[in-house]
Amino acid sequence: MSFVGIDGDRNSRELIVMVRRHIDDPRKSNRFWEMFKGKLELVGKPDENGGRCLDELFLIHSYINNITELFEEYDDQAALALLAQIETESC
């Protein structure tokens, strides 16, 4: 399998925007999502994360089950479709 022609970074950033639409609403957030937002703040900042450089795709893969549950809970079919695409193309 090849990653040629797949814009995994763009897809990941787009999916995070979809996640944020939900978790930035205080009625939909919780302690877990607040922790997740903190991890998002560390994306591309290895100096603030012990030298470890996080990116959106890593966080999506690390928390794919939580993200899936979020989108299912709010019946966000567009986000679920993009998540499935990312999982197929980039996992």
Q: Residue 90: pLDDT band by 50, 70, 90 thresholds?
A: confident
Please check whether residue 54 is in contact with residue 39, taking contact to mean a CB–CB distance below 8 angstroms: yes
Mean pLDDT of the chain: 92
More confident residue, 4 or 17: 17
* Residue 3 in domain: no
Per the structure, the complete domain to which residue 59 belongs is given by 8-90
In whole angstroms, what is the distance from residue 31 CA to residue 7 CA? 31
* Residue 58 in domain: yes
Tell me the average pLDDT across 24-38.
97
- Give the pLDDT confidence score for residue 4 in this predicted structure: 52
Q: How many domains is the chain partitioned into structurally?
A: 1
* Residue 57 in domain: yes
Tell me the average pLDDT across 31-42.
97
In whole angstroms, what is the distance from residue 54 CA to residue 46 CA? 7
* Residue 2 in domain: no
Share of the chain above pLDDT 70, in %: 92
